[in-house]
Amino acid sequence: GKPFQDDSTQARLGRARDYCVDTVPKLLMANGKLVKMLIQTGVTRYIDFNGIAGSYVFNSGKIYRLPVTASEALTSSLVSLFQKNALRKFAEFMRTYKCPKRVANTLNKQEFVAAITEYYKIHNPEKIVEVEDLASKFDSRREVLVSALEKKYGLPLFEETADITFGDGPLGLNIVNQPVKKAVAPELGGPIASVVVVADFNKLQDGSKGPAEASNRVAKGDIVRAINGESVLGLPDQAVKEKIMQASRPLVITFMKPAFDPSSQKYDLLSMTMRDLYAKFGLDETTQNFIGHAMALQT
């Protein structure tokens, strides 16, 4: 408007064309249903989504950045002395929290039935005849069924894999046997009692990272799923090592992420409210307000 068109304003703030101030910003949850719906309807052909780089509040005549990391929690003057450590612990918990991927609800019923059938082919073929009934019974609670199966048989139903190609030379891997959690005995239909997992990475002679670690696609705890497309699930580590040594190069090893274990998390966000979580960390109302504002903008 006219009040901002004089030379002094332009000298202080720069040219009006260089920035845009939206007095009514349209803020959407990054992984929310509305964003998914907009993407599905194709509006991204003419609408751009921008992430929020930071959240700020105007308080006592100054602008402050809202603390969203553990280090910011300790240095922010917005947080009282007694709340700094509580907010730091909360920020660290949120940073390291892992939520299982909700794949089941993205499938139609036929695809869901096919996924369970393939899972039973590996772990308990005799149960295949029950798949249709199970899928119907848990159609509105698919994740409950997925969690129950993974807890019983110890391996992920929806596999998250990475194929890594190795040329000549060492792989830079240390692999060991690991019992499958909650493994079902072979006589009860559970043929896989153990898997081979990545225990550690070995450096090369010059001290650099080996090809496995350097790929940034393999982590400690990942399962060796296949070698050159041939499944090695259930084989002992020595047998897997022999297959690797006998295979010609280039060699393709398929690594699989382990099944998500909810017990590995201190708190399960799917079974509690934010008010419950705030109480666990001892956050007062003022700190909760800051967190709520920051989460609304940055989630």
Using one digit for the tens of pLDDT, what is the confidence trace for 128-170? 999 999 999 998 888 889 988 888 888 899 988 999 999 999 9
Q: Please determine, for residue 191, whether its predicted confidence score (pLDDT) is greater than 80.
A: no
Q: What's the pTM? A: 0.60
- At residue 143, what are phi and psi to the nearest 5 degrees? -65, -30
What's the mean pLDDT in 189-213? 87
pLDDT tens-place string over residues 234-255: 889 999 999 999 999 999 999 9
Residue 183 has pLDDT above 60, yes or no: no
